[in-house]
């Protein structure tokens, strides 16, 4: 006997039971250990940060991380899966700053770095419990007990080792460069971090400024009126840093007259600048403007700001005060005629292109903004944050008649991806990894990676590699892996340290305190003697980009090379599989790829599923501010984890953007889970009635066609699901499973109901049980990687309860293998045709408004080939029953249909089916009998009878009804398990109802026997 299964089911409830079964039987650990000795299959877990609640998008990536290894384990692969936690970096610091009410780096240092970092360490796992609970609840099997943690000393030591390797290959350097700088966080961002934070539709000033041409200026310009070079900018705060104007040497420029002044700009931009009507006084080439000198908008010497100048060596040298300072026009190749005036304002301190132009042309360099983004010096707007200073700068220029036009512009601007402060492009010293030195290798190794979806490979990721820039990887922060670089206080030489032992062996080493903590400020106290001059070596204050931490996880999680030194050869590297959201192409995917290429010139993942983002139902980004964040727990508690998993796997291809809605998960439950559950419940209910025991008897007969068909479909499915998963396509696999469950329910079970229902236990009935049993058991295994809970439920009841020697869990079982000899393609396509014809026939019936229970004379099918006609003839009995018609006619042309009246025709996908809707009194009576049967069956249910209970049926009606009851007595008795049909008023206490059927009144009663 199977455990009885009702048609009602509470998925979340039974999932909880299965969770405790897995827990108590240690099924996950056993599923891994059982495959020891098998080929390894390695998943790398991209470490999340556990200092906030996990969201629905985390569930998405975690179930994709789960499905493939579960499948591989069932295929015999040894697949230990280790969890990991990303614990460093700005996100953690920002939370703690908020909590402590600290607003700046100065606040942190006043509070104390030791105390601050201690708080960071505590806060890192603030939501660990919730993460662990959710991970377990969604059935993501990963070893949480032995998770790697990026803040562990061992982890840090491996990261140091990696940096030292790069240092020794001269791939690490310090550059004075313009970097994207977050003035609030007080640190540079790498280009991949910048890529995370662009915001569209940002409003900024769009202004045209007049730079006065100096009287000393040489050249061909008319000099009878004051002349101005017209430039355009959206960042007024960079204007005090202006030290040059750039023109395109080949382009044409015009001098136009406006209000007794001359303005100079590119002729191509005259119209756009609003000067289309102004009279043109002269036309010159850009080259003619080169070396023209102009007066600075703000002479830095008047505002207490240092003026430096680029030297040959790119070093900056301080310049003497000059009250009559002028700057000059330079010719460059980057001046655009798409926007602005064709004259570009250059501030070498505030833009990469500007900086390079400064180096190339030995320009002056004026820095007027500090690291907090505030204006320095004695400007009237000094002390203000740059974006707030914009307005004052405009007012100041306006008062001096130097502002030609001022508007607003909406454009895309980069913001700090963490704190949403606008980033400033800012010249300063930063440590870089020279990834550009291995650009060709980065690109070549990418050829070896399988990307799903494929277009990411040479699209988003490939482009990113093609446009590779050096990795700015130092951070002027506190809570992170310290940069292992020490500098001599006396001779300024640098040394990089690659491990603790190496550090301890340094001459004159001092400062270690037990227990060792490789974080700031403890690591800042470690000093040793300079190998060149004997001076004191002190560590630089920087920490490193936390993306470097997570990208180093393949080695650092194993404390390589200090431990596990066989790691690169023993199958643990590279990973077979990783999966994260698409934004990681510039984040973790990149840092993994870059680090393993830099260190080993090897790939570190072979296959990657790149997931699209999860949006809300309207297609908007989820955010706390908008209040549209979907809580994963709410969904799981309502529908269960399997439903959410299935939705994520099947709703759309993995790479697509998802519009998440609770309704969509509810729909999945109805469409797939309840369909499967009904089949399962149907099977168990009847199998228990008939005391079917699987494997007890061999079916000796040649199996009926219907059984051969579904077994053929099952084997086809088994092969298809396996190969889809081999190709990292859970979506395709899931959709195939859904299709199978659909035909299993709507064709196999429906067509077989009578076989289960009939009272004699013959070979045909046994064949039906055996077949359906095989389908459900195989399904449980095929579904196991996708819906591990439902699969376990089916397996426990169908297999566990009858075969004590079978594996204790479906997840310890082997993945099914298709038996190719059972696949009959012809039969499958024939039945597919029959299903198609049936669905068209039913559509024709409903078009005519005639219920399926009303038998009709015939169906006519227009076939496209003789073989189709033969196939339908072979399946005639099934078709007739399915459509409840008495005859099938197969014709080869639509023409024949026109000659017959009373036909309702439907056409779809090249198939045409017609139903004769005229019916005789005999057919009408038969329809009446069927309707009575249906009412009686409903009454049996309402009365609470068991489906196997035998009954006596009472009826009362007019002569027509009496006639129907008499003519179809055997049929009615058989269908309703009635031993007798009694013409008369039901006895006292009998369940009875008054019914109206097709215009006739009838009183029906049902009484249980025995
Ligand atoms: Zn920031
Ligand atoms: Zn030295």
Query: What average pLDDT does range 58-63 have in this prediction?
Result: 96
Decide if 511 contacts 527 (C-beta within 8 A). Answer: yes
The pLDDT tens digits for 725-780 are 999 999 999 999 999 999 999 999 999 998 998 777 788 999 999 999 999 999 99
Which of the four pLDDT bands, split at 50, 70 and 90, describes residue 640? very high
The pLDDT of residue 561 is 97
What's the pLDDT score for residue 699? 57
203-212, pLDDT tens digit by residue?
A: 999 999 999 9
Give the residue among 28, 73, 52, 1005 at the shortest CA–CA distance from 576. Answer: 73
**Residue 52: per-residue pLDDT:** 86
Is the confidence at residue 13, as pLDDT, over 60? yes
Residue 220 has pLDDT above 90, yes or no: no
State mean pLDDT over 205-222.
86
Flag whether pLDDT at 20 surpasses 70. Answer: yes
Mean pLDDT for the stretch of residues 478-504: 96
The token pair that represents 571 in the structure block: 């199958």
The mean per-residue pLDDT over the stretch 822-848 comes to 93
pLDDT tens digits, one per residue of 292-311: 999 999 999 999 999 999 88
210 DSSP β-pair partners: 230
From the candidates 48, 66, 72, 86, give the one annotated as an active-site residue.
86
Tell me if residue 588 is catalytic: yes
Question: What is the pLDDT, as a whole number, of residue 249?
Answer: 95
Closest CA relative to residue 331, chosen from 285, 263, 283: 285
471 is an active site residue: no
Instruction: State the catalytic residue, choosing from 270, 584, 956, 995.
Output: 584
Q: How open is the CA angle 108-112-113, to the nearest 5 degrees?
A: 80
What does the pLDDT look like over 602-614, one tens digit per residue? 999 999 999 999 9
Q: What is the 3-state secondary structure (H, E, C) of 19-59?
A: HHHHHHHCHHHHHHHCCCCCCECCECCCCCCCCCCCCHHHH
Q: How confident is the model at residue 696 (pLDDT cuts 50, 70, 90)?
A: low
- 584 in catalytic set: yes
pLDDT classification of 697: cutoffs 50, 70, 90: low
Q: Is 758 a catalytic residue?
A: no
CA dihedral 82, 88, 94, 99 (to 10 degrees): 70
**Could you say which DSSP state residue 240 is in?**
G
Q: What is the rounded average pLDDT of the residues 451-476?
A: 94
Give the bridge partners for 254, in sequence order: 265, 283
SS (H, E, C) 549-594: HHHCHHHHCCCCCCCCCCCCCCCCCCEEEEEEEHHHHCCHHHHHHH
pLDDT tens digit string along 326-380?
999 999 999 999 999 999 999 999 988 999 899 899 999 999 999 889 999 999 9
Cβ < 5 A residues, ion ligand 1: 182, 184-185, 416, 419, 421
Q: Which ligand is nearest to the CA of 193?
A: 1
Paired tokens of 306 = 């240092």
To the query of whether residue 621 is one of the catalytic residues in this protein, the response is yes
Predicted confidence (pLDDT) at residue 530 exceeds the cutoff of 80: yes
Say which DSSP state 760 is in.
Answer: S
Cα 419 to averaged position of ligand 1 atoms, centre (Å): 4
Question: How is residue 242 written in tokens?
Answer: 């202006």
For residue 620, give every residue at least 6 positions away whose Cβ sits within 8 Å of its Cβ, in sequence order, or none.
626, 628
Is the pLDDT reported for residue 698 higher than 70? Answer: no
Q: Which residues contact 601 (CB under 8 A, 6 or more apart)?
A: 438, 441, 445
Question: Confidence class of residue 313 from pLDDT cuts 50, 70 and 90?
Answer: low
- Give yes or no for a cis peptide into 574 (omega within 30° of 0): yes
Beta-strand pair 280-285/343-346? unpaired
Measured in whole angstroms, the distance separating CA 678 from the mean position of its chain's CA atoms is 32
| pLDDT mean across residues, the chain | 93
Using a pLDDT cut of 70, give the percent of the chain over it: 99
247, two tokens: 């023109």
Tell me the CA–centroid distance for residue 598 and ligand 2, in Å: 29
Q: What pLDDT band is residue 51 in, cutting at 50, 70 and 90?
A: confident
The answer to whether residue 145 is catalytic is no
Of 752, 731, 637, the residue nearest 686 (C-alpha)? 752
The question of whether 165 is a catalytic residue gets the answer no
Predicted TM-score (pTM) of this structure: 0.83
Q: What is the pLDDT of residue 734?
A: 98
Cα–ligand 1 centroid distance for 103 (angstroms): 11
Distance between Cα 486 and ligand 2 center (Å): 10
Mean pLDDT of 122-130: 93
Report the 10 Å Cβ neighbour count for 952: 17
- pLDDT tens, residue by residue, 919-945: 899 999 999 999 999 999 999 999 999
């Amino acid at each position: 006997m199977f455990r009885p299964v009702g048609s009602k089911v509470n998925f979340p409830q039974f999932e909880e039971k299965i969770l405790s079964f897995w827990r108590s039987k240690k099924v996950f650990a056993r599923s891994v250990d059982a495959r020891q000795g098998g080929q390894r299959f390695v998943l790398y877990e991209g470490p999340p940060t556990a200092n906030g609640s996990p969201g629905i998008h985390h569930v998405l990536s975690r179930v994709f991380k789960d499905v493939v290894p579960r499948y591989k384990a069932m295929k015999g692969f040894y697949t230990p899966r280790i969890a990991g936690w990303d614990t460093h970096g700005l996100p953690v610091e920002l939370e703690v700053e908020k909590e402590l009410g600290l607003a700046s780096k100065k606040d942190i240092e006043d509070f104390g770095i030791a105390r601050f970092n201690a708080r960071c360490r505590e806060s890192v796992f603030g939501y660990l419990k919730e993460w662990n609970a959710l991970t377990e609840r969604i059935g993501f099997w990963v070893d949480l007990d032995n998770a790697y943690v990026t803040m562990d000393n061992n982890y840090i030591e491996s990261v140091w080792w990696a940096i030292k390797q790069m240092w020794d290959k001269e791939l690490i350097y310090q550059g004075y460069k313009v970097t994207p700088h977050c003035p609030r966080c007080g640190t540079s961002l790498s280009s991949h971090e910048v890529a995370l934070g662009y915001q569209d539709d940002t409003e900024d000033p769009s202004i045209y400024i007049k730079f006065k041409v100096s009287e000393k200026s040489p050249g061909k310009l008319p000099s009878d009126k004051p002349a101005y070079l017209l430039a355009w900018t959206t960042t007024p705060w960079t204007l005090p840093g202006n030290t040059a104007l750039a023109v395109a040497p080949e382009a044409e420029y015009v001098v136009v007259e406006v209000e007794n002044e001359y303005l100079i700009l590119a002729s191509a931009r005259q119209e756009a600048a609003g000067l289309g009507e102004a009279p043109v006084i002269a036309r010159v080439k850009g080259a003619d403007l080169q070396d023209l000198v102009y007066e600075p908008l703000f002479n830095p010497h008047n505002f207490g700001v240092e003026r430096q100048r680029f030297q040959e060596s790119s070093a900056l040298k301080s310049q003497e005060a000059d009250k009559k300072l002028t700057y000059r026009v330079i010719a460059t190749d980057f001046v655009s005629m798409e926007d602005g005036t064709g004259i570009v304002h250059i501030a070498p301190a505030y833009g990469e292109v500007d900086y390079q132009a400064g180096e190339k042309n030995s320009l002056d360099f004026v820095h007027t903004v500090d690291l907090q983004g505030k204006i320095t010096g004695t400007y009237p707007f000094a002390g203000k944050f740059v974006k707030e200073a914009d307005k004052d700068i405009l007012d100041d220029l306006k008062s001096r008649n130097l502002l030609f036009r001022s508007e607003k512009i909406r454009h895309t601007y980069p913001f700090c991806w963490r704190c949403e402060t606008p980033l400033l492009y800012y010249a300063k010293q930063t440590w870089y990894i020279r990834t550009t030195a291995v650009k060709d290798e980065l690109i070549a190794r990418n050829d070896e990676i399988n990307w799903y979806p494929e277009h990411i490979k040479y699209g988003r990721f490939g482009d990113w590699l093609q446009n590779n820039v050096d990795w700015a990887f130092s951070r002027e922060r506190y809570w992170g892996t310290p940069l292992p670089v020490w500098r001599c206080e006396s001779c300024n030489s640098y040394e990089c340290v690659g491990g603790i032992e190496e550090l301890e062996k340094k001459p004159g080493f001092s400062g270690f305190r037990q227990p060792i903590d490789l974080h700031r400020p403890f690591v800042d106290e470690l000093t040793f003697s300079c190998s060149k001059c004997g001076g004191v070596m002190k560590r630089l204050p920087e920490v490193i980009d936390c993306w470097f931490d997570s990208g180093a996880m393949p080695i650092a999680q194993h404390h390589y090379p200090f431990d596990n030194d066989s790691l690169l050869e023993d199958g643990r590297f590279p990973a077979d599989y990783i999966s994260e959201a698409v934004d990681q192409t510039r984040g973790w995917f990149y840092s993994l790829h870059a680090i393993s290429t830099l260190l080993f010139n090897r790939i570190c993942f072979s296959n990657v599923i790149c997931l699209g983002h999860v949006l809300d139902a309207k297609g908007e980004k989820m955010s706390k501010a908008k209040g549209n964040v979907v809580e994963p727990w709410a969904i799981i508690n309502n529908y269960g984890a399997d439903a959410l998993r299935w939705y994520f796997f099947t709703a759309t291809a993995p790479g697509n953007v998802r519009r998440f809605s609770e309704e969509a998960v509810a729909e999945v439950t109805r469409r797939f889970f309840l369909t499967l559950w009904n089949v399962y419940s149907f099977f168990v209910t009847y199998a228990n009635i008939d005391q079917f025991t699987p494997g007890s008897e061999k079916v000796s007969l040649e199996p009926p066609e219907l059984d051969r068909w579904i077994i053929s479909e099952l084997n086809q499915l088994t092969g298809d699901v396996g190969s889809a998963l081999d190709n990292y396509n859970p979506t395709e696999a899931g959709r195939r499973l859904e299709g199978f469950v659909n035909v299993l329910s709507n064709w196999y079970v429906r067509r077989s109901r009578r076989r289960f229902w009939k009272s004699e236990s013959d070979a045909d009935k046994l064949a039906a049980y055996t077949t359906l049993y095989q389908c459900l058991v195989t399904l449980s295994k095929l579904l196991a990687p996708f819906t591990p809970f439902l699969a376990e439920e089916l397996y426990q009841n169908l297999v566990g309860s009858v075969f004590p020697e079978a594996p204790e869990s479906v997840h310890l079982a082997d993945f099914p293998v298709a038996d190719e000899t059972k696949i009959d393609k012809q039969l499958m396509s024939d039945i597919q045709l029959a299903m198609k014809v049936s669905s068209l026939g039913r559509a024709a019936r409903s078009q005519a408004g005639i219920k399926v229970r009303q038998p009709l004379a015939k169906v006519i099918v227009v076939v496209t080939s003789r073989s189709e006609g033969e196939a339908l003839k072979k399946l005639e009995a099934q078709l007739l029953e399915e459509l409840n018609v008495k005859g099938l006619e197969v014709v080869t042309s639509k023409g024949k249909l026109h000659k017959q009246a009373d036909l309702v025709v439907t056409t779809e996908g090249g198939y045409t089916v017609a139903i004769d809707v005229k019916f005789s009194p005999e057919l009408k009576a038969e329809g009446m009998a069927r309707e009575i049967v249906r009412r009686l069956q409903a009454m049996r249910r309402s009365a609470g009878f068991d489906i196997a209970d035998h009954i006596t049926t009472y009826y009362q009606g007019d002569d027509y009804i009496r006639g129907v009851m008499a003519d179809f007595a055997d049929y009615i008795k058989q269908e309703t398990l009635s031993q007798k049909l009694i013409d008369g008023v039901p006895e006292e206490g009998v369940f009875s109802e008054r019914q109206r059927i097709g215009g006739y009144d009838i009183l029906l009663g049902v009484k249980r026997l025995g």
